[in-house]
């Protein structure tokens, strides 16, 4: 009571008696309601779409302005607002992709939306591509990011072009993994499959060596030749066939002597299947190619007595 007496001493007041039944709010001055401003709660879906627009490098006002000034997007916006879409057969080519997506189109703050992605007008697309390319994330990451926020016709192709035209991206990208090699089936007996290749000339000396390697035993046959014509090749192979028998398969590269019609007729008449290695991929004839390298290294190695290599 003393505290209240001190607080009320600065005022002139008169005490009046009233029955308790006639009392109103005894503490009305301290409990007067404050003026309330009613704020509308934003729908969660609308809030999500608004956030999608807010994260873009351009404002929603720019997108709205670009949409209204673009003839195609402005027509699409009118159709979305009216809810009337023409039939697909009566639609111009530039509007057909939007008509087929009509059930997924909407408008938020003047911006066209396809699902949760903002449809960016043509004038602003380069800005968006540049923003997606910040940090050089690569094509896959750029597409993944774009699919969360933006869309327009041909966006995937433009993202690929943006990345391919960037020298930094081309410099740091990893090389694709080489295709796995499929090994040859192991022959069941010697001379079932043989591999043929030529080596030479050696260190300027104009002579050639034909190398024939048995795939089963790894046994090599080496013959020195003064030329690599088809006739000389057939002559060497005929001698081998008479000594070891006719093989089932012969593997070679795509040299002119192996692709000649005369060579094909020779193998066909002997019942030999001819398999050529893939162009620009000599390792598929690896049996002969490996022995060629072994032979070259052996010829270049100096002799223990003469200190000169056999090739010299």
90 vs 98: CA distance, rounded Å? 13
Q: Is the same domain home to 214 and 139? A: no
| pLDDT tens readout for residues 71-94 | 899 998 988 888 888 877 778 888
- Of 139, 170, 201, the residue at which a domain comes to its end is 170
Do residues 176 and 141 lie in contact, with contact meaning Cβ atoms separated by under 8 Å? no
The rounded distance, in Å, linking the Cα atoms of 124 and 186 is: 62
Query: Which 3 state secondary structure label does DSSP give 24?
Result: coil
Closest CA relative to residue 60, chosen from 162, 133, 150, 142 = 150
In a domain? residue 20: no
Q: What is the mean pLDDT of the chain?
A: 81
* One domain, residues 161 and 199: no
Q: Which of 65-74, 159-168, 202-211 has the lowest mean pLDDT?
A: 202-211
Q: Are residues 94 and 215 in the same domain?
A: no
Average pLDDT for residues 197-204, to the nearest whole number?
A: 74
pLDDT in tens, 142-181: 898 888 889 999 999 999 998 888 888 777 777 776 766 6
175 within a domain of the structure (yes/no) = no
Is the pLDDT assigned to residue 189 strictly greater than 90? Answer: yes
Mean pLDDT across 112-123: 89
Residue 300, pLDDT score: 67
Do 101 and 49 lie in one domain? The reply is yes
- Alpha helical stretches, state H, 70-222: 71-82, 96-99, 125-132, 139-149, 155-164, 167-172
Decide if 73 is inside a domain. Answer: yes
Pair 230, 121 in one domain:
no
Residues 165 and 206 in one domain: no
Mean pLDDT to the nearest integer, 199-210 = 70
In a domain, 137, yes or no: yes
pLDDT for 32 beyond 70: no
DSSP state of 150: E
110 phi, psi to nearest 5 deg = 80, 5
Domain of residue 133, residue span: 41-170
CA-nearest of 218, 216, 285 to 255 is: 285
Distance set, CA 294 to CA 117, 284, 298 (Å) = 62, 17, 6
Model pLDDT, residue 157: 92
290 falls within a domain: yes
> Do 154 and 54 share a domain, yes or no?
yes
In a domain, 24, yes or no: no
Q: What is the pLDDT of residues 226-266, one digit of tens each?
A: 888 999 999 999 999 999 999 999 999 888 999 999 999 99
Q: Is residue 296 located within the same domain as residue 204?
A: yes
101 within some domain: yes
| Structural domains of the chain, count | 2
Whether residue 158 is contained in a domain is answered as yes
Task: Indicate whether 295 and 209 sit together in one domain.
Answer: yes
Domain containing 68 — which CATH number? 1.10.340.70
28-32, 57-61, 280-284 — which one is most confidently predicted on average? 57-61
Output the CA–CA distances (angstroms, integers) from residue 94 to 100, 128, 138, 233, in the order listed. 12, 22, 30, 64
Say if residue 197 is in the same domain as residue 282. Answer: yes
Same domain, 164 and 51: yes
Verify that 277 and 215 share a domain, yes or no.
yes
H or E stretch covering 261: helix 261-269
pTM of the model: 0.44
Q: Of 29-43, 50-64, 79-93, 196-210, give the lowest mean pLDDT range.
A: 29-43
């Amino acid at each position: 009571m003393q505290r209240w007496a001190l607080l009320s001493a600065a005022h002139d007041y008169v005490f009046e008696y009233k029955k308790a039944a006639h009392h109103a709010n005894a503490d009305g001055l301290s409990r007067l309601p404050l003026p309330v401003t009613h704020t509308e709660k934003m729908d969660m879906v609308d809030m999500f779409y608004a956030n999608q627009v807010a994260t873009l490098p351009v404002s929603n006002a720019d997108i709205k302005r670009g949409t209204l000034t673009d003839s195609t997007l402005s027509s699409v916006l009118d159709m979305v607002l009216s809810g009337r879409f023409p039939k697909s057969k009566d639609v111009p080519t530039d509007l057909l992709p939007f008509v087929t997506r009509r059930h997924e189109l909407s408008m938020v703050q003047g911006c066209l939306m396809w699902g949760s992605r903002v449809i960016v007008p043509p004038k602003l697309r380069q800005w968006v591509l540049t923003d997606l390319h910040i940090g050089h994330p690569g094509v896959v990451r750029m597409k993944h990011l774009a699919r969360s926020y933006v869309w327009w016709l041909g966006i995937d192709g433009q993202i690929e072009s943006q990345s391919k035209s960037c020298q930094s991206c081309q410099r740091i990208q990893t090389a694709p993994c080489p295709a796995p090699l499929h090994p040859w089936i192991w022959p069941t007996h010697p001379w079932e499959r043989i591999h043929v290749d030529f080596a030479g000339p050696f260190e300027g000396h104009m002579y050639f060596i034909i190398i024939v390697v048995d795939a089963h035993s790894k046994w090599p046959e080496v013959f020195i030749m003064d030329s690599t014509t088809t006739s000389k090749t057939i002559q060497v192979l005929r001698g081998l066939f008479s000594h070891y028998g006719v093989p089932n398969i012969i593997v070679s590269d795509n040299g002119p002597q192996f692709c000649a019609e005369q060579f094909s007729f020779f193998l066909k008449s002997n019942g030999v299947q001819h398999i050529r290695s893939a162009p620009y991929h000599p390792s598929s004839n690896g049996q002969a190619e490996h022995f060629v390298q072994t032979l070259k290294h052996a010829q270049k190695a100096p002799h223990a007595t003469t200190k000169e290599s056999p090739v010299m």
